[in-house]
Structure 1
Amino acid sequence: MFVTGCSVVRCNANDRDDTARFTPTGCPATASAINPGGQVTINVTFSPTVCGDSRACLVVAVNDPRGAQVTSQLNGTGGGAAIARLTLEGGASALEFGPVNATPKPRKTRKQPSRTFTVENAGCEQLTVSVASILRTGPDVNNGKITNRDDRNLFPVVLVNADGTEIPVPASVAIAPARSATFRVRFNPVIPPVAPDSGGLSAQQVLPDEVTSVLTLNQSAGPSLTVNLAGSVSTPLRLIDPDNPRRSPLVTLARSGSQLIVEFSTFDSNQDVSRASYQFLDSAGRNVDQAFVIDLAQAISQRNLARGQSFRVTQRFTQGVDSLSINSVRVTVSDGEASETATSGPLRSN
């Protein structure tokens, strides 16, 4: 008897096509004789690409007058642990946002720029994932100025349903085999109030022009997954209320003995504030003498602030300010991109 070839086919016409998952080896390439009592060994390798059962038939062509082929059914079961595959929007290596203007209060959700990432379960058991943390990275973390790295407020995350609606991320997200879960990350930069010091800061107290964080996902199938986040914040300075940036900018003017003391606060994401102009005014709003222009760059640099940390400026005047007509002061602060102006309330005495 001669073996003239072999192939893997569907056992029935209505079967799913599983033939590619079974690979025969040892099948003669040309007609091969089998002597009486002899045999030909054909090995079949099963390589599952789907979970669950697969079936096909091995057909061996022979010149046996009792039948032109020998058919053997092949069965295999694909299994294995869950396998997590992480994909960022656009195939990027990080989710990037901006540049975006920092605002005194959080933007409405629909106005916050967003990016997505997807976790696919390429295995055969249920996969569970959870958002473990979103932590600030960068120079001011490395040098110890930022000690509380929690960045969930800057980069809020939601789970996206199949219909596009969003829900808060549950404590754990279950992903069935061959299914995926999509998460949306938003960027919501809010102007921080003035912190009492330049060390021991929380991430919420520091908003630099280039801010980076890492989102960590715990998973049931292996090591944690990480998503790099990068936000760009616009750099023009803003005059602010030091305790609550939602309120109007606050400038104060006080007399202490022979001194006039002016205080204001500012946020500047790239911290390149260069100078301040102080124009004293009388009760009618008219200029009292010429404005004082003070260079601030060196003084701010010496304070060793974290980049993107809001700060207060206190300026004392002892000469040329003894006029009894001074009632308020108009402060104009400038950096490399813009300037802002605010006026104090009436002079008060300490």
Structure 2
Amino acid sequence: MSLSDVREFILRNRRRLLVGLVAVLGIILATGFLFREVVPEVSEEEKIPSFSLAQEPGSVVGAVDLSKLASADFPPSITVYRTGKKDLTFTQDESKTLAASFGFSQLSGEVDTPLGKIYVFAKTGEELTVTSNPRALHYTREGASGAGKLPTSVDAVQNARGFLTAKNLPDPGSVSPIVKYLSTLGERTTETVAEEARFVEVIFPWSVNGLDILGESPTDAAARLVFDSAGKLVYLTFKFSDYSFAVAQNIPLVSFTEATSVLGREAQVVLVRPTGVVKEWTLSGSSNLSSFAPESVRLVYVKQSQGDLLYPVYLFEGTGRTGGIDVKAAVYVLAVSSRYIKEE
């Protein structure tokens, strides 16, 4: 068939060809409509308040390297819990009993707060505060010893549990205590390997539904203990379990793939610690990461300092850079789709 024959055929049958083309397009559109993914609307009753931290978190403003992160499976949905404050407080006599187990013989002072009293105990190089409401302990000791060898992570957990038992403090019962090795402690806390460390840190979160409960950062947990290389306690925070938990609702989770895809946009950097020896380091202005390489991820609950919900959050931990130095970093990514968050 010559080109002129083709033109003549099209001219004679152009109406039929046009009708056929329209029919084909109609079939394609109808098929797409029938088989498209149906996304149900989320009612306002199903939505939860927005997730925000009291301290302004940092951001991942540079490249995200996922090469060290193994894929992980998480459930498609999870229970969201609402917390309730129990009517529990410490009296002055109870605070003195707790202080006596730490070797403090007398009360040094009291501080009045809107929620209750804080009892202060002090002696040379040591201080203990007992917060009456919510109930908590905070202990510090100066003059850490450099003699001795730090324990393995397994032994460090056992030592920490033994210490809590000896002080008549409840065992948080965490199935996944966290152990870190530190070269310095305080505002300039830095992480290192066990062979070069001067301190070992053990963190016990409370848990519900088999998941850890954390606060504004991974160190904001039920108990945080730091021991020096001589095995002596130099730092302790202990928060008593003063909350009840009630099921609020069941809510879908974003997948592992979805969570990793937003690390560069929605991640909230909640912990930054330099690694190795750092001469100049200040926390202010150093929480944004110019690069981040997550090495692990787990699903946790996070309780905001204000509010009564436990939010499901993916906790990514790995290495990064900020201000030109190498750091260990922890990042929160909300595990709930934005469709289930109330607009404010």
TM-score, normalization: structure 1?
A: 0.18
| Greater relative CO, 1 or 2 (CA 8 Å, sep 6+) | 2
Question: Whose helix fraction is larger, Structure 1's or Structure 2's?
Answer: 2
Q: Higher Cα Rg: structure 1 or 2?
A: 1
Question: Whose strand fraction is larger, Structure 1's or Structure 2's?
Answer: 1
